Amino acid sequence: MKKKISIKKHFVVFSSPGTLFSEETIKEIAEWDTEKAIIMSKEIKERYGATPYGFCFITRGRTGEDLDSKEIKRSNFYYLGGEIKTLKELRKENNPGDIILIRNMECNNWDKVIINNNSWKWTQPFAKGDVLLNV
């Protein structure tokens, strides 16, 4: 018999450029509201002044029998601006500074990346279902 979730809360997970990995800040939110999350993102500052390049929503819940909550739902990723580039476009631009990026895209079968400059330059794969917001 499937246990019924008795308590659940919604959160927004903001991702900002970090030294090796993204810095994350998690804030509670009443509901999955993109406009509210955009406003909240303007208050986030990580180390070295980094600000979010994007966010996703998660819902955590637990049953009365669970000791701790677990993630029960996650949204797609929302990027706070940036530029989407395809592998074909990067090859055509022939920028020597993109050689490693192009090789990474080829080796990992990435068709698109997003380049965001909200604070520090951040480049990563742009996955199916991701959303580029015009902010």
- Check residue 102 and give its pLDDT: 97
Q: What is the pLDDT of residue 131?
A: 97
- Which residues, given as ranges, of the chain have pLDDT below 70? 1-2, 5
Extended strands (E) in 3-135: 7-16, 23-29, 54-62, 70-74, 78-80, 83-86, 112-116, 122-125, 131-133
Look at strands 112-116 and 83-86 and give their pairing. antiparallel
Tokens, residue 39: 């406003």
pLDDT score at 98: 96
The per-residue pLDDT for 65 is 78
Predicted confidence at residue 7, as pLDDT, reads: 85
How far, in Å, CA of 131 to CA of 119, rounded? 19
Q: How much is the pLDDT for 64? A: 77
The model's pTM is 0.89
pLDDT attached to residue 5: 66
Given a contact cutoff of 8 angstroms between Cβ atoms, the answer to whether 6 and 14 are in contact is no
Whole-number percent of the chain with pLDDT over 70: 97
The CA distance from 1 to 118, in Å, is 47
Q: What's the burial of 80, exposed, middle or buried (CB within 10 Å: 0-12/13-18/19+)?
A: buried
